[in-house]
Amino acid sequence: MKKIFLLSSGVLLFILSANVCLAAGVIEMQKMNLQKAQQKSQAQQRNAKQQSLQEELQQKNQNRLSAYQSQYEEKVVDFSQVFEELKINSEVWAQLIDNDPKVMILDKYKQWYSDQGIQIRKESLHYAGIIDSMARTDENLLKTPFKNVLRFVAIMEYDYDNGQDKDALAQKVLGAGQYQANKRRLSAEEQKR
């Protein structure tokens, strides 16, 4: 009987220790599940905060873009108005964004010169690029009527054919210093070709 009691108390102790271990394991699993739930909750909160910040940033960027677009909206203008302004000064030229209207303007002025017996043969797109480039470096260029701007640039390009010697005309219009600088520029461009 003692053996049975010892055996049953041993089994009981074993069962008790197994229950304690099992309970400890269950508690540990509950702690781990709780930690996982807390981590998941924290991750969800971080994600929600990041998404909120991202949406706020997108809204700010959209507001900036809208402000920028409204500030620089393309204006549709009547060409007759542009031509009238070009008779006084050429400042409207700098406001033209696309080359197409610039080429149209140059074509019209080249035709006007042709009607006066003066030939300007180089492409209008060529002149558009030169005028744009010169306007960035010489703030006074566009303060004169456009016919004078085109005349000046065509003389620089040796493309202003009014029957006079082109070299003598360039020297007369440009002056000695600009004349020499222009000759070097033309020579450099010729070497590139």
Residue after which a domain boundary falls, among 48, 73, 98 = 73
Say what the pLDDT of residue 1 is: 52
Residue after which a domain boundary falls, among 23, 56, 73 = 73
Residues of the chain short of pLDDT 50, as ranges, are 5-7, 68, 72
**Does residue 68 sit in the same domain as residue 122?**
no
Q: Which domain holds residue 128?
A: 79-192
51-64 pLDDT tens trace: 776 677 567 656 66
Say what the pLDDT of residue 192 is: 82
Say what the pLDDT of residue 187 is: 87
- One DSSP character per residue, 18-40 reads HHHHHHHHHHHHHHHHHHHHHHH
Say what the pLDDT of residue 70 is: 53
**Does residue 181 sit in the same domain as residue 163?**
yes
68-79 pLDDT tens trace: 455 545 555 677
**Does residue 105 sit in the same domain as residue 140?**
yes
Residue after which a domain boundary falls, among 17, 38, 73 = 73
Say what the pLDDT of residue 10 is: 55
**Does residue 118 sit in the same domain as residue 60?**
no
Say what the pLDDT of residue 62 is: 64
**Does residue 63 sit in the same domain as residue 101?**
no
**Does residue 115 sit in the same domain as residue 168?**
yes
**Does residue 89 sit in the same domain as residue 181?**
yes
17-45 pLDDT tens trace: 655 566 666 677 777 777 877 787 777 88
- One DSSP character per residue, the chain reads -HHHHHHHHHHHHHHHHHHHHHHHHHHHHHHHHHHHHHHHHHHHHHHHHHHHHHHHHHHHHHHHHHHHHHHTPPPP--HHHHHHHHHH-SGGGGG--SHHHHHHHHHHHHHHHHHTT-EE-S-HHHHHHHHHHHHHH-TTGGGS-HHHHHHHHHHHTT-EESSS-HHHHHHHHHHHHHHHHHHHHHHHHHHH-
**Does residue 48 sit in the same domain as residue 108?**
no
**Does residue 50 sit in the same domain as residue 92?**
no
Domain count, the chain: 2
**Does residue 181 sit in the same domain as residue 119?**
yes
**Does residue 69 sit in the same domain as residue 103?**
no
**Does residue 31 sit in the same domain as residue 8?**
yes
